[in-house]
Amino acid sequence: MKNAIRHDSVSIPLADPHFWTMQGCVRVAQLCDALDTSHGVNVSTPFTSLAMGIMQSLRSNGHDKDDHSGIAEWYEMVNIIKLQ
């Protein structure tokens, strides 16, 4: 996804709402807009890039329709822990 953003081909992941779902498309579009704006003014955006990575991981693991609990599940998966 980062390469798509850097090469101005962001429309590719947004073109298929069946892949991202409509809500996912909106979220990805917002993240891409934030990244594009930050690159335009040479500002580092580590948290926005992290959020994009989290969304891609959630999608690839079948949690694309989850609410914020999906982020907690991602955190558990990455850190090999169980949140209480």
Structure tokens at 83: 């949140």
Q: For residue 48, what is the enclosing H or E element? A: helix 46-60
Q: What pTM does this model have?
A: 0.50
Contact 23, 31 (CB under 8 A): no
pLDDT tens string 1-10: 556 655 555 5
Q: Is the pLDDT of residue 73 over 80?
A: yes
Across 27-48, average pLDDT: 80
Q: What is the pLDDT of residue 63?
A: 79
pLDDT tens string 14-27: 455 666 677 777 77
